[in-house]
Chain A
Amino acid sequence: MAIEILMPALSPTMEEGTLAKWLVKEGDEVKSGDILAEIETDKATMEFEAVDEGTVGKILIDEGTEGVKVNTPIAVLVEEGESADDIDTSSKTSDADKGSDTSSDNGSTESSLDDTDTDKPMSSQPAASMPEPEPVEDPEIPEGTEMKTQTVREALRDAMAEEMRGDDTVFLMGEEVAEYQGAYKVSQGLLDEFGSKRVIDTPITEHGFTGLATGAAMGGLRPIVEFMTWNFAMQAIDQIINTAAKTRYMSGGQMNVPVVFRGANGAAARVAAQHSQDYAAWYAQVPGLHVAMPYSAADAKGLLKTAIRGDTPVVFLENELLYGQSFDVPVMDDYTVPFGKARIWQKGDDVTIVSFGIGMKYALEAAEKLAADGIQAEVIDLRTLRPMDTKTVIESVKKTNRCVTVEEGWPVASIGATISSVLMQEAFDYLDAPVITCTGKDVPMPYAANLEKHALVTTDEVIEAVKAVTYK
C-alpha cells in the first residue's frame, strides 16, 4: 500500500513552509529515521525524517517550492512491486484541512492570517481575506513616501538594529536571542552585526535577567529584554512593576529606568492555558509603564523605536501569529510612531470599532463583512494602551454614537471595560446604544482546536455586536 508523505507542521503556528531541499530522490529506498528533506519555516530550517519504510515512488513537490501548506502530500512511498504512477494524489490535497475545525467560522483564527499566500489550497474556506483599507490618518508618514512590504518580524528586527546602530548603550538580552537567532527569529542577524557583547543569550532565568536588565538600565544602559513569550514574564512581574515601573516615582524623579520588555503575547495556536494569555489589561493598569501592542508592521517598527529611545520602561506586546504577516512599511531614515496616538484604519459613520494588536484582525474582518451589509464602521487601532488615546475614540463616537471594542484578553477589567467606562463618563449623551465589549471568553485557554477557536474572540461576535448596537 502506498503511503503519502505529508508536509509536516514543525511548530504550533506553522501553516506552511518552503520545501528547501530533497535529500532523497525517486527510486531511493528509505527506512524509518532517514532524513527525507529539509523544510524551512519562517523560524528555522528543519530536517524531516521518514517514519515509514519503502521506496520513494514519486516526489510531488519540487525542492525550492515556497508556501507549501501543512498536510499537502509532498511525496509517495511505495512498497515493493508497486508503481508510483498508479497513485492518484490530486484528489487528496483537501486532506490538508483535516484536523481543523469545520464549523462555519472556520478560518477566522488560522487561514485568514495567510493572506500573503498566492496559491493556497484551502479554497473551500470562507473568504477571510484581510481588508486593506487605505490608512486614513498617519501624520508620521509624509505624503509620497515610498513603501515596502515587510513582515512584523522583520520590522521589529529593523527597529532594534537601527536603534542599536544609533546608540551603543542599547543591547538585547533574552533566551535564545543570539546564537539561535531568536526563538521566533525576531532577532535574526543581530548577533552577526552587533556581536555577543550586545546580543546576549541568557540562561532560563526570567526573574533574574529581568532584575538584571532593570539594574543595567539604572546603571546607564538601554536594555531590550526579549521574553520568549509574555507568559514566562509572570515569573518576573515583580521586577517589571515594583522596580522598573516605580523607581522613577520613588526616587523623586532622580532615576530613570529606560528598559524595553518585549516578546510574544496572547494566544498562538494550540499551546493551551499556560502559554496563551493576553497581558494587555494587566500591564495597562500600571502607572510608570508605557504599554504598546501594535498590529501592523509599520507600527511595530515605529513604536519599538520610540520605546527604545524613551526613558520610560515599556511593555511591548507582540503576537506570534502576526510575526509572519506582511504590511506596508514606510521607507524612511528614521520612522517612529508616538505613544498615545491611535490610528484610524478606516473611516465610517455607523459604528466605532476599537481594537489593538491581533484584535485588529477581527475588527477589520468584521468591518469588511459589515460593509457588504451596508454598515460603515470606523475602525480605530489604539496601538498603545498606556498612554491610551481615548480622545480619538470619543471623537469618533460623537460621530457614530455607537461603539464596539475587540480584544483577545479576558472580559473582567478588560481594555474594553475601560473604554466603555470612559465613554460613559465623557460621551454619555452621544451614545445611542450601550458599548459592547467583545473579548476572549472567561476561561483558561483550552487545548482542543474547536474549543480554542471559541475561547478566542471571533469575527462573527464582532459582527453580531455591531448589529446589536446599530439595531440592525
Chain B
Amino acid sequence: MAAAKSPKKSNTSKEDLLSFYKEMLLIRRFEEKAGQLYGMGLIGGFCHLYIGQEAVVVGLEAAASEGDKRVTSYRDHGHMLACGMDPKGVMAELTGREGGYSKGKGGSMHMFSTEKHFYGGHGIVGAQVPIGAGLAFADKYLETGGVTFTYFGDGAANQGQVYEAYNMAELWELPVIFVIENNQYAMGTSVQRSTKSPSLWERGAAYGIKGEEVDGMDVLAVKAAGEKAVKYCRDGKGPYILEMKTYRYRGHSMSDPAKYRTREEVQKMREERDAIEHVRDLILQGKHAGEDELKAIDKETKNIVNEAADFARESPEPSLDELWTDIYA
C-alpha cells in the first residue's frame, strides 16, 4: 500500500470513530448474512459482497452532505447501507420480496432510493460512470450545490465510456467525484494482468482531472481525501478522482471459487489491513470505549441484521400484478 496511512493516534472524535465502527460493522455483518441466505437459496442470481471494502463508502459518506448523490456498480449493498437506506428494504430486495426497495423487481444489482439520493445499483460494468456525470450535470444546471459520488472498480476503469465521461466532466466542470474502488481484481483478472498503467487515477490527467491515491482500508484517510475532493467540487473546480486501494475478501460473486489468488494473500490482508480492526484498535487505544461497549455494538448490529433477514424472509413475494407495473410513467 503506497498511500499514507492515518496515524495510529488519531485526533478523530470518539463519536466519529464509534460511528465508523458501527457503520462498517453493519455492512460486514449484513454481507455475511446475505452470503448465508444465498447459501440457503433465499437469494438468487448474482450476489456481489462488499466485505473488505467497507472503509471506502463509510469514509466517503462521512464527507458527504445532505443532498449529495451517489451511484455505483452491482457491488452495491455497502453503498446503500452507508447512505442510510433501510437494511430491511435492502435485504428484502435481495430475497426478491415485496418489501424490497424495488418491490423485488430489481434484485441485488438494481436498487434505488430517491429519498437517500442513491441512483443505483448498475449491472453493466462502467455504465454508471457517465450516469454519475449526468447527475452532476443536473446539479450544476439546477445550481443545487450538490456533489455526486460515482463509484466504479478497477475493472470498469478499462471501459471506454469512463473516459468519455471524464472528458465531458472536466470540459463542463461537473461536480462529480470519480471513486475508483481498486480492489485489485476485476472478477478473476488482477490489475497487473489488465493494464500496464501504473495507477488508474493518473489516467485522469489526460483529461485535465486532478486526483490522488488513497489507502482505502483506512476510513480516516478515506474521509480526509473525500473532504478534500468534496470541497474541490463544491468550489466549482470540476471533477476529482480518488483511487481507493482496497481489497475484497470474498469472491467476485457468490459463485466465484477465487482460484486466481492464494488463501494466504487474502489472509494477510485480513490480518494486517482490516478496516474494521483498524478503527477498533483506535477506539480501544484512545480509550474511547471498552471491550464491553464494543461487544454491545456488535450485538446491536447483529440484531439489526437478523431483523433485516427475518423481514426479508417473511415479506411476501410480489403479487403477480407487479409484473406489469412500473414499466411506464
A residues in contact (CB < 8 Å) with B: 169, 171, 197, 202-203, 205, 207-221, 238-239, 242-243, 247-256, 258, 287-288, 290, 310-312
Q: Decide if B255 is an interface residue (CB 8 Å cutoff).
A: no
Please report the total number of B residues contacting A with Cβ < 8 Å. Answer: 47
B residues in contact (CB < 8 Å) with A: 69, 71, 100-106, 110-114, 119-124, 127, 129-139, 141-142, 148, 160-161, 164-165, 167-168, 171, 325-329
From A203, A216, A287, A311, give the contact of B137 (CB < 8 A).
A216
CB of B141 within 8 A of CB of A249, answer no
**Given A214-B131, A239-B130, A255-B119; A207-B105 close (CB under 8 Å):** no
Task: Specify which chain B residues have a CB less than 8 angstroms from the CB of A238 in the assembled complex.
Answer: 124, 127
B contact patch SS? mixed
Smallest beta-carbon distance B204→chain A, Å? 15
CB of A205 within 8 A of CB of B164, answer yes
From A207, A251, A258, A311, give the contact of B130 (CB < 8 A).
A207
CB of A243 within 8 A of CB of B127, answer yes
**Given A203-B171, A209-B164; A215-B329 close (CB under 8 Å):** no
From B71, B102, B164, B165, give the contact of A250 (CB < 8 A).
B102
Task: Specify which chain B residues have a CB less than 8 angstroms from the CB of A253 in the assembled complex.
Answer: 103, 325-326
CB of B326 within 8 A of CB of A208, answer no
**Given A205-B164, A208-B168, A211-B131; A254-B113 close (CB under 8 Å):** yes
CB of B329 within 8 A of CB of A248, answer yes
CB of A288 within 8 A of CB of B327, answer yes
**Given A212-B137, A214-B134, A254-B114; A249-B165 close (CB under 8 Å):** no
From B131, B325, B327, give the contact of A215 (CB < 8 A).
B131
- A215 CA to B149 CA, complexed, in Å: 13
CB of A256 within 8 A of CB of B102, answer no
Task: Specify which chain A residues have a CB less than 8 angstroms from the CB of B110 in the assembled complex.
Answer: 250-251
- A215 CA to B131 CA, complexed, in Å: 4
Q: Which 8 A-B pairs have the closest CB atoms?
A: A215-B134, A208-B164, A211-B130, A219-B138, A311-B329, A215-B131, A253-B326, A252-B102
Task: Specify which chain B residues have a CB less than 8 angstroms from the CB of A211 in the assembled complex.
Answer: 127, 129-131, 133-134, 161, 164-165
CB of B161 within 8 A of CB of A215, answer no
CB of A212 within 8 A of CB of B168, answer yes
Q: Give the nearest-CB partner of B112 in chain A.
A: A251
From B122, B160, B168, B325, give the contact of A243 (CB < 8 A).
B122
Beyond A215-B135, A219-B142, 20 extra complex contacts between A and B, CB < 8 Å: A203-B171, A205-B167, A207-B164, A208-B161, A208-B168, A211-B133, A215-B119, A215-B137, A216-B135, A217-B134, A238-B124, A239-B131, A242-B123, A243-B124, A250-B102, A252-B102, A252-B112, A254-B112, A255-B119, A288-B327
**Given A251-B110, A252-B326; A219-B135 close (CB under 8 Å):** yes
Smallest beta-carbon distance A323→chain B, Å? 28
Task: Specify which chain B residues have a CB less than 8 angstroms from the CB of A207 in the assembled complex.
Answer: 130, 160-161, 164
- A148 CA to B115 CA, complexed, in Å: 47
CB of A203 within 8 A of CB of B105, answer no
CB of A255 within 8 A of CB of B130, answer no
Of the listed residues A215, A239, A247, A311, the one surrounded by the most CB atoms of chain B closer than 10 A to its CB is A215
Smallest beta-carbon distance A327→chain B, Å? 29
CB of A252 within 8 A of CB of B329, answer no
- A208 CA to B166 CA, complexed, in Å: 9
- A215 CA to B141 CA, complexed, in Å: 13
- A219 CA to B133 CA, complexed, in Å: 10
Task: Specify which chain B residues have a CB less than 8 angstroms from the CB of A247 in the assembled complex.
Answer: 112, 120
Task: Specify which chain A residues have a CB less than 8 angstroms from the CB of B102 in the assembled complex.
Answer: 250-252, 254
CB of A288 within 8 A of CB of B328, answer yes
Q: Give the nearest-CB partner of B114 in chain A.
A: A254
